[in-house]
Amino acid sequence: MAVNLDRFPRQQLGFFPTPIQILPRLSRELGIEVWAKRDDIGSGLAFGGNKTRKLEWLIPDALAQGCDTLVSIGGVQSNHTRQVAAAAAATGLKCRLAQEHWAPWEEPVYDKVGNILLSRLMGARTEMTSTPAGEGFAVDLEGSLQETADRVRLEGGAPYVIPAGASDHPLGGLGYVEFANEVERQEADLDVFFDTVVTATGTGSTQAGMVVGFAGQERPREVIGIDTLADPDETRRLVTKIARATADLVQSRKPIDDEAIIVDGRFAGPAYGVPNDGTIEAIRMGAELEAMITDPVYEGKSLAGLIAMARSGEIPRGSRVLYVHLGGVPALDAYYRAFD
Ligand SMILES: *Cc1c(COP(=O)(O)O)cnc(C)c1O
């Protein structure tokens, strides 16, 4: 049974349902059946991605509170802050973004192209924070975020504060609860069942929402989160916290067991925002076999995890796997050197 979300207001920002496609050439290569859920292309807003699905449930709250400025935080090449900028532009709100140097990636155009360029084009004010490069991914950057909100208030604005990844927010898990409902409906249409779902995981509410949504359904399946923070214990803590809070919010009858939260840390190294050899190989395989483009920060790592687990037999032959593509391609140009 699908989790009922009728009592939560939703502002449409994307085109849903997003398509599910089989990846025939990658499937043949790996000996499992791989399908992709294309949340990377499901949005009319500035290239979309998973934050668009989440923000649909936060925007009505911002409007109900009478806020006029969305305030958020992310890395310099954050897909999240670009999607906040898009949501603000599309709903007539202002946007102020704190951009942190989380990823230790030195590149003269890193803060000029890709996501940050798009955010600026959409009218967002982007403010570089002074955190030194390579401090790693820090979700709990209450400091920078609150300071940014304070500056909006000083200027007479009414900020609506959205944490990193729109994750650690009371409504942050709802988008991917609805995602699980959407997948169940598409499975009925396609007459298939995905026993394994592979997703990138970072600030946590994507995986957390899925776990809550899928837990409410009849047939059990495994959701494998591939860590991208290079800090799997912290990632698991975030996913677990958000999953439990979201389960309470939607009044789920199923408790979220620790075993339901699978976070695999093997594919994230050497650091958040920095690809490894497996990441680059996976990006090339997705592109050459399926013309499916992935990025070095998130989806290249989750695809590398899927490929490695299929090759090792951890995902057994004959499995039917749903690879969830959450976006991220706008960051690719900032990483051109990784493909030289
Ligand atoms: C944010 C993001 C993720 C991680 O999602 P979380 O909800 O933060 O765990 C994965 N892929 C892409 C492209 C993202 O932008």
User: Per-domain residue ranges for the chain?
Assistant: 20-48+170-339, 66-166
Any ligand 1 atom below 6 A from CB of 201:
yes
Q: How far is the CA of 101 from the centre of ligand 1 (A)?
A: 17
Residue 131 has a pLDDT of 61
Q: Of the candidates 4, 10, 6, which has an alpha carbon nearest to the alpha carbon of residue 61?
A: 10
| CATH among 3.40.50.300, 3.40.50.970, 3.40.1190.20, 3.40.50.1100 for 66-166 | 3.40.50.1100
22/220 Cα distance (integer angstroms):
21
Residue 194 has a pLDDT of 98
Q: How far is CA 15 from CA 19, 56, 58, 235, in A?
A: 10, 11, 17, 29
SS3 15: coil
Span 102-153, pLDDT tens digits:
888 888 899 999 999 999 999 999 999 866 555 555 544 678 899 999 999 9
The residue whose C-alpha atom lies closest to atom 1 belonging to ligand 1 is: 165
Any ligand 1 atom below 6 A from CB of 205:
yes
> What atom in ligand 1 is closest to the CA of residue 225?
9
User: Which of 140, 141, 228 has most ligand 1 atoms within 8 Å of its beta carbon, as the pocket-test mutant?
Assistant: 228
User: Which of 45, 47, 326 has most ligand 1 atoms within 8 Å of its beta carbon, as the pocket-test mutant?
Assistant: 326
> What atom in ligand 1 is closest to the CA of residue 40?
13
Q: How far is the CA of 202 from the centre of ligand 1 (A)?
A: 6
Q: Are residues 35 and 314 in contact, defined by beta-carbon separation less than 8 angstroms? A: no
Torsion of CA 84, 142, 328, 194, to 10 degrees: -100
Q: Which two tokens stand for residue 203?
A: 């600030």
User: Which of 37, 51, 241 has most ligand 1 atoms within 8 Å of its beta carbon, as the pocket-test mutant?
Assistant: 51
Residue 338 has a pLDDT of 94
Residue 303 has a pLDDT of 98
Q: Of the candidates 198, 227, 219, which has an alpha carbon nearest to the alpha carbon of residue 37?
A: 198
Please name the residues in contact with 313: beta carbons below 8 A apart, sequence gap of 6 or more.
none
223/210 Cα distance (integer angstroms):
8
Catalytic residues, by residue number, are 78
64/321 Cα distance (integer angstroms):
40
| CATH among 3.40.718.10, 3.40.50.1100, 3.90.76.10, 1.10.630.10 for 20-48+170-339 | 3.40.50.1100
Span 159-199, pLDDT tens digits:
999 999 999 999 999 999 999 999 999 999 999 999 999 99
Any ligand 1 atom below 6 A from CB of 43:
no
The residue whose C-alpha atom lies closest to atom 8 belonging to ligand 1 is: 203
Q: What angle do CA 281, 322, 16 make, to 5 degrees?
A: 110
Whether the model pTM is above 0.75: yes
Mean pLDDT computed over every residue of the chain: 95
